[in-house]
């Protein structure tokens, strides 16, 4: 069974640009979450989607947005990039049975560098 696939693996952008990151969950998984990982702040929750609906959102500015498609694939978008947005962006998927969103499986991430 293929794991969580994130594309692209690396990305270099300049301040003010926007970026779209893509995530394909494990087959059969309907929940997709996004996390930002930086050396200073660690792993921070961005948002979670299930059946195309956002169920929870972290404390990030409105420049960070996401969406989920009917095939469970997800994208996140960051507009007006800032230097501080440089980070590893991780996508995780889970079955999300019932009310629980347990056993999250992470992709290898997209390393975003903002110059």
Per CB under 8 A, does 60 bind other proteins? Answer: no
Nearer to other proteins, 24 or 31 (CB): 31
What span, in angstroms and rounded, lies between the C-alpha atoms of 56 and 99? 13
Following CA atoms 69, 7, 87, 47 in sequence, which dihedral angle do they give, to the nearest 10 degrees? 10
Per CB under 8 A, does 87 bind other proteins? Answer: no
Which residues are paired to 12 by β-bridges?
Answer: 113
- The interface mask with other proteins, positions 66-85, x = CB under 8 A, is --------------------
The structure tokens listed for 21 are 């990151």
Nearer to other proteins, 86 or 105 (CB): 105
Backbone φ and ψ of 85, nearest 5°: -85, -5
- Please give the residue ranges that form the binding site for other proteins (CB under 8 A): 4, 31, 33, 35, 42-45, 48, 50, 55-56, 58, 90, 92, 96, 100-109
């Amino acid at each position: 069974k293929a794991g969580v696939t994130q594309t692209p693996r690396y990305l270099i952008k300049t301040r003010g640009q926007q970026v779209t990151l893509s995530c394909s969950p494990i087959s059969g998984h309907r929940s997709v979450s996004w996390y930002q990982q930086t050396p200073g702040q660690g792993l921070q929750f961005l948002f979670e989607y299930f059946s195309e609906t956002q169920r929870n959102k972290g404390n990030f500015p409105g420049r960070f947005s996401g969406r989920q498609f009917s095939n469970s694939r997800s994208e996140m978008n960051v507009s007006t990039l800032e230097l501080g947005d440089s980070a590893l962006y991780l996508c995780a998927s889970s079955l999300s049975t019932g009310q629980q969103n347990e056993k999250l499986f992470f992709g290898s991430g997209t390393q975003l560098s903002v110059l």
